[in-house]
Amino acid sequence: MRKIWQVCLVLLVNVGVAQTTYVGVKAGGHASSTFIEHTIFNLNLNSTFLPGVNGGVFVKYLPKKGKSFLNSGIQFGVNYIQKGWKQTFLTNEPTYTARMNYLEVPFEGFGYFGGKNKYFVSAGLYMEFLLSTELDSEPNSNNLGGADFYTYDESRDRDIGYGARLGGGMFRDLSIGTFQLEGFFSYSFSNFINAGDLTTETPDISNHWMLGFTVGYMISLGGDKEE
């Protein structure tokens, strides 16, 4: 991971003289869930979607536009992200909800094209830092109908992770600022459950994933806006 972030820093320096530099805020909604499994043992755990919100601040650099149809840039920021999942049971046991609130720091590259409406696709990595959790009371272990149950345990599990993010959308310059609409997908490569020894039945695979959208507003800090 250290080498990846070093490469990102080099890219940032290389585009330090940008044609356009934006600073913006964004917010949106998403559906999140979690993939919980074990490499050796079979788990019977049905995780479903949990709605959430996200928002943050970001910086977008557009280097000097070249002659190519497709141009590129970079962006980074800090986001507040609600992640988690719901677990359902085949019995009358109530659905269990686990929400985990993260501070996320993404670094992404993007390609874009267009005139007044600029269309883009983006990809990058992020680090995440757990801020808080909202966990339901654990279900009755005698009323699970054969299902397995695992959730976040503060004394056992990790509060720092990393993953990848893919996005796409459009942005447009107006007299009052620049507006952006984006759809995204993210997946955490790190496992938030600390399984320890694989001989235990504690899941060694526990990855968050999300599908959502954001609406953003940006102002230009200088440079010539593209027409």
User: For 50-71, what is each residue's pLDDT tens digit?
Assistant: 999 999 999 999 987 666 778 9
The closest alpha carbon to 226, from 140, 116, 131, 147, belongs to 116
- Output the furthest CA–CA distance in the chain (Å, rounded): 67
Non-local (6+) Cβ contacts of 181 within 8 A are 169, 170, 171, 213, 214, 215, 216
Q: What is the pLDDT of residues 159-179, one digit of tens each?
A: 999 999 999 999 999 999 999
Which CATH number do you get for residue 83? 2.40.160.20
Count of structural domains within the chain: 1
- The amino acid at 174: L
State how far the alpha carbon of 150 is from the alpha carbons of 48, 94, 104, 141, 194, in Å: 14, 15, 24, 11, 12
The tokens 């009052």 sit on which residue?
176
Alpha helices by DSSP H, the chain: 2-14
Cα-Cα-Cα-Cα dihedral sign, residues 57, 7, 123, 127 = negative
Q: Are 81 and 106 in contact (CB under 8 A)?
A: no
Non-local (6+) Cβ contacts of 38 within 8 A are 195, 201, 202, 203, 204, 205
Q: Supply the range of the domain harboring residue 34.
A: 2-223
State how far the alpha carbon of 216 is from the alpha carbons of 75, 76, 101, in Å: 13, 14, 21
Would the pLDDT of 19 be above 90?
no
pTM of the model: 0.86
Mean pLDDT taken over the chain: 90
